[in-house]
């Protein structure tokens, strides 16, 4: 049989969560965000953003870590690359910015796995597609989602104004209303992986 690539997932309880100073969002509305994207596009060309899929397990089911802003809006940790920045280096930088403590001796050693999906934004609008639509020669953004391999213990420092949630795959699947088309389709993109659910010694296997 073809072996599926494996991902070790550890219980949520094996991670420690602290908090750090708030990371204020640069844009207060969708309109602001799209306007800023336009300004940056004129200066720097197409935006490339990178986001990380961090997995934990609870009750032997994979859960994805999401950052919640306010009461509803959820996003994956990640963000925009600087012009010319390498995707892997940029993703590590963004993950540390969103989830690592500020002191340098507590930096997680981010293990960036494979890219599982690419989404394209053809215009300065919210809609994105998992392919560059025909007849679009100048897409405005390319977003790449990467699987992150977490080690057994990590210390995460979450900005005070954000909540870190662990959401099960079954809750995300087909739930476009709540999570949007990029996050709600992650279960399909992860379906090829074999999840090794690793329990703490104190739990029953």
Partner 1 sequence: MNNSQLFNYTHGSSTSTDDGSQVEAIKIYGLSNYYFYSKPAPPLKNQTLEERISCLKTRYDVCGIRTCVEAVILVELSKTPQLLLLQLRNSTYKLPGGRLRPGESDIEGLKRKLTNKLSVHSDGILPDWEVGECLGRWWRVGFETLLLPYLPPNVRSPKECRKIFLVKLPERQKFTVPKTHKLLAVPLSQLHENHEIYGPVISGVPQLLSKFPIETASR
Residues that bind partner 1 (CB under 8 A): 1-2, 4, 44-46, 48, 59-62, 83-84, 87-88, 111-119, 129-134, 138-139, 142, 144, 146, 168-170, 173-174, 181, 185, 187-192
Supply the minimum distance, in Å, between the C-beta of residue 3 and partner 1.
9
Nearest-approach distance from CB 22 to partner 1, in angstroms: 30
47, 37 contact by CB (below 8 A): yes
CB of 49 to partner 1, least distance (A): 11
Residues 25 and 69: beta-carbon distance below 8 Å: yes
Q: Which is nearer to partner 1, 69 or 136 (CB)?
A: 136
User: Which residue, 111 or 123, has its beta carbon nearer to partner 1?
Assistant: 111
CB of 11 to partner 1, least distance (A): 14
Nearest CA-CA partner of 171 in 59, 4, 52, 8: 59
CB of 138 to partner 1, least distance (A): 6
The Cα-based distances of 67 to 8, 44, 71, 165, 183 in angstroms read 22, 27, 11, 6, 12
The answer for residues whose C-beta is within 8 angstroms of residue 186's C-beta and 6 or more apart is 53, 64, 116, 117, 145, 169, 172
| DSSP3 helix / strand / coil % (the chain, rounded to 5) | 25, 35, 40
Task: Give 26 or 59: the residue with its C-beta nearer to partner 1.
Answer: 59
Closer to partner 1 at the Cβ: 10 or 119? 119
Comparison of 93 and 144: residue with beta carbon closer to partner 1: 144
Q: Which is nearer to partner 1, 138 or 153 (CB)?
A: 138
d(CA 41, CA 56): 36
User: With 0-12 CB in 10 A as exposed, 13-18 as middle and 19+ as buried, what is 156?
Assistant: buried
- Closest contact distance (angstroms) between CB of 26 and partner 1 is 20
């Amino acid at each position: 049989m073809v072996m599926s690539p494996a991902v070790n997932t550890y219980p949520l309880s094996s991670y420690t969560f602290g908090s750090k100073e708030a990371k204020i969002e640069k844009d207060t509305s969708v309109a602001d965000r799209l306007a800023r994207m336009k300004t940056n596009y004129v200066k720097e060309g197409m935006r490339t953003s990178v986001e990380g899929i961090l997995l934990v397990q609870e009750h032997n089911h994979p859960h994805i870590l999401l950052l919640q802003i306010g009461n509803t809006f959820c996003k994956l940790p990640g963000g925009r690359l600087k012009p010319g920045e390498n995707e892997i280096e940029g993703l590590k930088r963004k993950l540390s910015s969103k989830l690592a403590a500020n002191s340098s001796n507590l930096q997680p050693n981010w293990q960036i796995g494979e890219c599982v999906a690419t989404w394209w934004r053809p215009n300065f609008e919210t809609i994105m597609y998992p392919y560059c639509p025909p007849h679009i020669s100048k897409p405005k953004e390319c977003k790449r989602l990467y699987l992150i391999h977490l080690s057994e213990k990590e210390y995460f420092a979450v900005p005070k104004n954000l909540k870190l949630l662990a959401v099960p795959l079954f809750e995300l699947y087909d739930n476009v209303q709540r999570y949007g088309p990029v996050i709600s389709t992650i279960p399909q993109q992860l379906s090829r992986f074999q999840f090794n659910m690793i329990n703490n010694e104190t739990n029953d296997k």
